[in-house]
Structure 1
Amino acid sequence: MKSACIWISTSPERQREYPRLEGKEKADVAIIGGGITGLSAALHLAESGVAVTLLEAGDIPSGGSGRSVGLVNAGMWIPPDDILETLGPENGERANEVLGHAPAEVFALIDRHGIDCQDTRTGTLHLAHNGKGAEELARRFEQFSRCGAPVELLEGEACQRRIGTHRIQRALLDRRAGTLNPTAYTRGLARAAHGAGAILHTHSAAQGIQREGDHWRVDTPGGSVEAPHLVIATNAYTEGHWNQVRNVFFRGHFYQVASPPLSDEIAGDILPEGQGAWDTRTVLSSLRRDAEGRLILGSLGCGDTKPASFLRCWADRIQRHYFPQLGRVDWECTWTGQVGFTPDHTLRLFEPAPGILAAAGYNGRGITTGTIVGKGFAHYLTSGDDSLLPLPVCRARPLRARPLWSSVYEGGFTLYHAGQCLRIVA
């Protein structure tokens, strides 16, 4: 089992070369981070006639935007009523409304710019792995239905037919959602932004920022960019003590394991309508198939720090639990991405200093949230109106004991997976 991200090797959108930054440049807006948030902001700014320069430390993509499960989900991680309780009625209603329409925004961008990212639009499935999980899905179904969302609570045979397993008796189908190849989507956004006039520089890591008069200067190894406005879109891949984004979230990980392509004769009953899925376990398992029929399983935790035998054992355990009809699976590859977590599972949109916008803490909802935040930042910078953002831009409080949060989460994930491998945990 090799260490490689399957989305990179199977992306229909080819990798394009963008030059390193050499020398000094000026722009109306400078963006640090070439993931979905930064590219969405660059695209929408360029389409509005704004001179924008984006800096990415590696290739596009090299961070979490190209390494996720590829679920195009609506909303935040927590359900609508929990969002209202956490954020308050006004901000909670706004977040539910804006992020509820986020999948439609993603699919509209795909159509408008002809992004070939193997997207499906048949929804996603949240799977109840036990009785407590079934109660949680009933709670979510009631809340989403009250908000007018097109959701369906699947039971019994209808549920099993959609998933391909007898292990699940209840699932929540959200018809707003879907799946895609996240690397291809990110590359497509970069192509569209560049075509609209945005200047993209790869292998141009931001090393620091300085205030010079009414402008910000971003320094890189090969040069600098000056702009009156700066967007920091680094989220879970934030590096450098100068970058204040690192103070508002804690870093986590999500690993995945992919099988070779499986024919419909062997695996045609597994997620036959193309939905992506995840379960209600304490440490969730994600399940989906790609355009070539691979079974892709994932869970929270850092696979890079675990032996291949551990990951293989975990994948075998999950596969045999849900899909024993496959028999033995020879896993093809594994990869890990980083996730920006917050203790309350809601994102942070803030101004670290005058003229700087930043976002962090997507809690695993980066495809839709990043697309919406990038568009909202662009609209805010051109009009002063932040209504397209899921939350108002504000000052963010630093998160205390960030390394401890990360360590506790990772330790808990590892123990849970070990329990699964040892059959202590179902």
Structure 2
Amino acid sequence: MQEQCLWAVNAIEDAPSTRPLGESIRRDVCVIGGGITGLSTALHLAERGIEVAVLEAGEIPAGGSGRSVGLVNAGLWVPPDDIVKALGQEDGEQANRVLGEAPSRVFELIERYAIQCHSTRTGTLHLGHNRKGCDELARRRDQLASRGAPVELVEGEACERMTGTRQIHAALLDRRAGTVNPAEYTRGLARAALQAGAELYVHSAATGIQREGNAWRVTTAHGSVLAEKVVLATNAYTRDEWNEARKHFFVGNYLQVSSRPLSSEAARAILPDRQGAWDTRTVLSSIRRDSEGRLILGSLGKGEGRPRAYLKCWADRIAQHYFPALGSLEWEYTWSGRVAFTPDHTLRILEPAPGLLTACGYNGRGITTGTVVGIGFAKYLDEKDEGQLPLPIRRRDPVRGRSLWSAAYESGFTLYHAGQCLRVLI
């Protein structure tokens, strides 16, 4: 088992050719972070004729944008009524509306720019692993359906056919959603942004930001960008003290393990319509197959640095529980990515200083949330119109005890996985 991200390995195209920033330049907007949020912002600004430069610390993609499960999900982690309870009626329903339409925005971009990212539009499946989980799915179905979402609770034989397992008795099918190779999608956004006129500088980590007259000076090791507006699009990979985003979330991790390509009849029965899926466990397991037939399992928690035997034991346990007909599997790749969590599981969109924007706390919904945040940022920066943002820009208190939150989450994930390996939990 290699510690390498599958999505970069089986990508159709390489990252677009770019270079580090080696000079001082002036542009209308500087975007810090070349993930989905930053690239979507740059693309939509460039389409409006606004000069924009993107600074990326690594390659495209380097962070969570290319390391996720690849689910193009609608909405947030929590059900829509809970979102309204957390954010209030007006803000909550704006989030439900914009993020409910977010998969369509992603697929529109894929089609418009001919992004080759192995996309599917057959929906996603939320799997009820026990009676309590099935009841929760029914509650979500009712809330989503009341808002006009095309969702369906699939049960019995239909559920077994769609999932390929007898261990799931009900699954919530959301027809708005789908899957992508997230690394390919991110690279496709980068190509589209470059073609629209945006500038993209890789290996150009921002080292600081300071006010200079009516503009902001963003410095790198070998250059700088002077811009009236700056977007901090670093989310879970925010490290620097000067970056305001880091105060508004705590870091979690997500691990994944992929098998070698499978071609048996038992393998073909797993998610035959290629939906991405995840279950209702306290520490969820995600399940999907890629374009070459691999089985990909994931869960909350850190995989990097873990013994291969630990990861194999966990993956074997999940695979044998759900798909015993597969027999023994050879696991080929493992990788992890960071997730920006918030205590209420809702994102934050902030303007910590005039001309300085940031969004963070996507809680595992980065593909769709990052895409529409970028669309909304472009409109706001150009027109001062917040209407396309998932939330209005609000002042929010920083998250207290971020390191304690992170430690508690990771400890809980580790104990849960250990219980699964020891067959205490499943």
TM-score relative to the length of structure 2: 0.99
Partner of 1:135: 135
Match of 1:316 in 2: 316
Asked if residue 206 in structure 1 is aligned to residue 198 in structure 2, the reply is no
Deviation at 1:138, TM superposition (A): 0.6
Distance 2:386 2:232 in 1: 17
How far off its partner does 1:119 sit? 0.2
Contact 1:208 1:242 in 2 (8 A): yes
**Cα offset for 1:105?**
0.2
Question: Are 1:13 and 1:117, in contact at CA under 8 Å, matched by a contact in 2?
Answer: no
Question: Is the Cα–Cα contact under 8 Å of residues 236 and 361 in structure 1 kept in the other structure?
Answer: yes
Residue 349 of structure 2 aligns to a residue whose secondary structure is strand
**Equivalent position SS for 2:49:** coil
Superposed, 1:276-295 pairs within 5 Å as: 276-295=276-295
User: Distance between the aligned counterparts of 1:362 and 1:128, measured in 2?
Assistant: 23
Contact 1:13 1:115 in 2 (8 A): no
Distance in 2, matches of 1:395 and 1:34, equals 25
1:256·1:296 contact (CA, 8 Å) conserved in 2? yes
Q: State yes or no: 1:154 paired with 2:165.
A: no
Q: Does 1:303 align with 2:283?
A: no
**1:235-246 alignment runs, 5 A limit:** 235-246=235-246
Q: Does 1:396 align with 2:396?
A: yes
Which amino acid in structure 1 is aligned with residue 181 of structure 2? N
Cross-structure match for 1:176? 176
- Give the partner amino acid of 2:50: V
Correspondence 1:26-175 to 2 at 5 A: 26-175=26-175
Contact 1:30/1:225 (<8 A) preserved: yes
Deviations 1:356-382 (A, max 9, x none): 000000000000000000010000000
Q: Secondary structure at the match of 1:118?
A: coil
Match of 1:386 in 2: 386
Could you tell me how far apart the structure 2 residues matched to 1:325 and 1:217 are?
59
| One-letter amino acid of the counterpart of residue 297, structure 1 | L
What secondary structure is seen at the aligned counterpart in 2 of 1:120? coil
The CA distance in 2 between the partners of 1:284 and 1:268, in whole Å, is 23
Q: CA RMSD in A?
A: 0.6
Instruction: Give 1:14 shift.
Output: 1.8
Greater CA deviation, 237-246 or 111-120? 237-246
Equivalence map 1:218-367=2 (5 Å): 218-367=218-367
Whole-angstrom CA distance in 2 between matches of 1:109 and 1:8: 20
Q: Distance in 1 between matches of 2:382 and 2:71?
A: 30
Give the Å deviation of 1:197. 0.2
The code of the aligned residue for 2:120 comes to T
Look up the equivalent residue of 2:66 and give its one-letter code: G
SS at match of 2:418: helix
1:244 deviates by 1.2
The 8 Å contact of residues 259 and 329 in structure 1, kept in 2 or not, is answered as yes
1:299 is paired with a residue whose SS is strand
**Between Structure 1 and Structure 2, how many residues are aligned?**
426
CA distance in 2, matches of 1:44, 1:75: 22
Q: Write the letter of the residue equivalent to 1:355.
A: G
Cα deviation for residue 23 of structure 1 reads 1.1
How many angstroms apart in 1 are the aligned matches of 2:94 and 2:315? 39
Separation (CA, whole Å) in 1 of partners of 2:312 and 2:185: 28
Q: CA deviation at 1:17?
A: 2.3
Deviation at 1:266, TM superposition (A): 4.3
Residue 263 of structure 1: CA displacement? 1.0
Unaligned runs of at least 5 residues, structure 1: none
User: In the TM superposition, what whole-angstrom CA distance separates every residue of 1:187-218 from its partner, at most 9, and x where no partner exists?
Assistant: 00000000000000000000000100001000
Q: Could you give the per-residue CA deviations for residues 51-107 of structure 1, whole angstroms, max 9, x where no partner exists? A: 000000000000000000000000000011001111100001111011000000000
| Counterpart contact for 1:251–1:339, Cα < 8 Å | yes
Deviation of 1:143 after TM superposition, in Å, equals 0.5
Show the counterpart of 1:3. 3
Shift of 1:264: 5.0
1:346 Cα deviation from its structure 2 partner:
0.1
Instruction: Give the ranges of 4+ consecutive aligned residues of structure 1 lying more than 3 Å apart after TM superposition.
Output: none
Match of 2:21 in 1: 21
Instruction: Tell me the distance in 1 between the aligned counterparts of 2:259 and 2:156.
Output: 28
CA offsets 1:144-203 (integer angstroms, 9 cap, x no match): 110110001001110000000000000000000000000000000000000000000000
Alpha-carbon distance in structure 2 between the residues aligned to 1:264 and 1:222: 53
Q: Distance in 2 between matches of 1:297 and 1:388?
A: 34
Query: Residue by residue, what CA displacement relative to the aligned partner does 1:292-322 show, whole Å, maximum 9, x if unpaired?
Result: 0000000000001321110100000000000
CA distance in 1, matches of 2:15, 2:247: 32
Return the alpha-carbon distance in structure 2 between the equivalents of residues 44 and 8 of structure 1: 25
Question: Which residue type is aligned with residue 347 of structure 1?
Answer: L
Given residue 128 of structure 2, which amino acid in structure 1 is its aligned partner? A
